[in-house]
């Protein structure tokens, strides 16, 4: 059975996102290790960086598994991908609002202010 083009694009996207999230999670875990070893309050640094790194790494692993499964046209990967997409929906509006606030803030300033600072 030939894999549909849409499934190929989604699988490649999930493989890329999984790889990037796992790399970022790995980096965050290293930061947690270093910050925990050099901090006066290691618990909070380990908790924040370690917790965030763990979530990123595990989320990336889930995306990677879903991408591999979609590439192989597995039924379970379809449902895993749907679940991951549902979990990612609340994140989209947050970044949209942040982007809109950045645009609003940077465009509301008088352009002469920017010229004077340069």
Distance (Å, whole) CA 48 – CA 34: 13
pLDDT score, position 106: 72
pLDDT score, position 26: 95
For 4-48, the pLDDT digits (tens) are: 888 999 999 999 999 999 999 999 999 888 877 777 777 777 788
The predicted model gives 52-63 an average pLDDT of: 95
Contacts of 32 (CB under 8 A, 6+ apart): 45, 46, 48, 49, 50, 53
Residue 84 vs residue 100, higher pLDDT: 84
Residue 32 vs residue 57, higher pLDDT: 57
pLDDT score, position 109: 64
Nearest to 62 by CA among 27, 95, 17: 17
For 60-99, the pLDDT digits (tens) are: 999 999 999 999 999 999 999 999 999 888 888 887 887 8
Looking at the whole model, is its pTM more than 0.85?
Answer: no
Q: How confident is the model at residue 116 (pLDDT cuts 50, 70, 90)?
A: low
Domain chopping of the chain, boundaries: 5-88
Whole-angstrom CA distances from 14 to 59, 75, 96 are 11, 16, 21
Under 8 Å between Cβ of 22 and 61: yes
SS3 track for 39-59: CCCHHHHHHHHHHHHHHHHHH
């Amino acid at each position: 059975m030939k894999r549909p083009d849409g499934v190929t694009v989604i699988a490649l996207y999930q493989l890329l996102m999984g790889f990037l999230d796992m790399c970022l999670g790995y980096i965050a875990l290293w930061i947690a290790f270093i910050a925990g070893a050099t901090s006066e309050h290691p618990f909070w640094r380990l908790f924040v960086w370690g917790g965030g790194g763990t979530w990123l790494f595990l989320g990336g692993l889930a995306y990677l598994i879903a991408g591999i499964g979609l590439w192989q046209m597995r039924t379970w990967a379809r449902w895993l991908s749907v679940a991951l997409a549902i979990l990612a929906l609340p994140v989209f509006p947050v970044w949209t609002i942040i982007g809109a606030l950045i645009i609003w803030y940077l465009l509301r300033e008088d352009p002469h202010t920017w010229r004077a600072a340069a």
